[in-house]
A and B are shown apart, each in its own frame.
Chain A
């Protein structure tokens, strides 16, 4: 196994860092305003490491909602990782369970998206994924700690920073579209996801869209093959 896999992965994390730092800083500032100490902010980013859930949690904390309801909401928001984890499992056949534990604990939407854009590098090379995800989480913890400690000194949302992660996802989506089937799946998923988000609370829209749109992709593939 070569050690450079880790370094390559760490390099691939650079665009993710650019997105995580400002969002992490924002989280740190808001969490302090909701009454968390800087240490609690850092621990949450270390043990939970889920952006949307962490923002929702501090929102619910400041409204005085009970712990159980926050944990439940977190659970439902993060169910979407079931699918991403299933998807990556195909490429991590020979990895031992303790290492899989670390790799899965650091799985995020962003690291998943970067990983599937570099599948030949990820396949059976856990060090690449480890480098990518380790550096990403360090940026997240560092950003949220910085926001918590020095947040009162900055304003946060200037410089187009709120669009760093959306732009990252747009590019990662475009990189995934490789043939006409993918274009159809993208269009179907785009429409379904907006509809499901309008219809349902939480992040069910991601889970349902992923299932229905990839099902639709399989059907399209079958019909086209029959007509070819």
Chain B
């Protein structure tokens, strides 16, 4: 396995990327955990999870690159997953159902 080495330029890249991904993850957790939030900010934080998750989910259904448009395979597979997640609230089940729906749609579309 003589090819298993790390080139200097790749090491610099990996450490650079490591540093800039670490800082936004670490700094708020380290400093804000030692700080008492004002009540108003805390109320806003209640909506963070819904807002962030929506911002991850909806663009994956309604954009393709930077173009707006329905991603039909994603969109159609998402419908049963939404309903299942809402009624059954199972993470595992949602993932498996989503994969099955997406896989089947791949044959049909």
> Does A associate with B in a complex?
yes
CB proximity to A under 8 Å, residues B56-95: 56-60, 62-63, 66-68, 74, 77-78, 81-82, 84-86, 89-92, 94-95
Pairwise interchain contact A186-B99, C-beta atoms closer than 8 A: no
**Which one of B3, B47, B57 has the highest number of Cβ atoms from chain A below 10 Å of its Cβ?**
B47
Residues of B with C-beta under 8 A to A88: 29
Report if A89-B95 is in contact (Cβ < 8 Å); known contacts: A50-B21, A167-B77: no
Pairwise interchain contact B25-A185, C-beta atoms closer than 8 A: no
Pairwise interchain contact B54-A15, C-beta atoms closer than 8 A: no
Could you say which of A1-9, A136-144, A171-179 contacts chain B? A171-179
Answer whether residue A163 sits at the interface, using C-beta atoms and an 8 A cutoff: yes
Contact with B along A201-214 (1 / 0, CB 8 A): 10001100110011
Residues of B with C-beta under 8 A to A75: 20-21, 24
Interface size on A (CB < 8 Å)?
96
Pairwise interchain contact B51-A163, C-beta atoms closer than 8 A: no
Q: Which 6 A-B pairs have the closest CB atoms?
A: A167-B98, A160-B103, A160-B99, A163-B102, A217-B47, A189-B54
List 21 A-B residue pairs with CB atoms under 8 Å apart, sorted by A's residue number: A15-B94, A48-B21, A53-B21, A67-B12, A71-B16, A75-B20, A78-B24, A85-B29, A105-B25, A113-B56, A163-B101, A166-B98, A167-B95, A167-B99, A167-B102, A176-B53, A177-B50, A189-B55, A209-B54, A210-B52, A215-B44
Chain A interface residues toward B at CB < 8 A: 14-15, 18-19, 36-40, 43-44, 47-50, 53, 57, 61, 67-68, 70-72, 74-75, 78-90, 92-93, 95, 97, 100-101, 103-105, 107, 109, 112-114, 116-117, 158-164, 166-177, 181-182, 185-186, 189-194, 197-198, 201, 205-206, 209-210, 213-215, 217-218, 221
Q: What 9 additional pairs, Cβ within 8 angstroms, besides A71-B16, A163-B103, A170-B57?
A: A43-B6, A44-B14, A81-B24, A167-B102, A173-B85, A182-B47, A213-B50, A217-B44, A218-B40
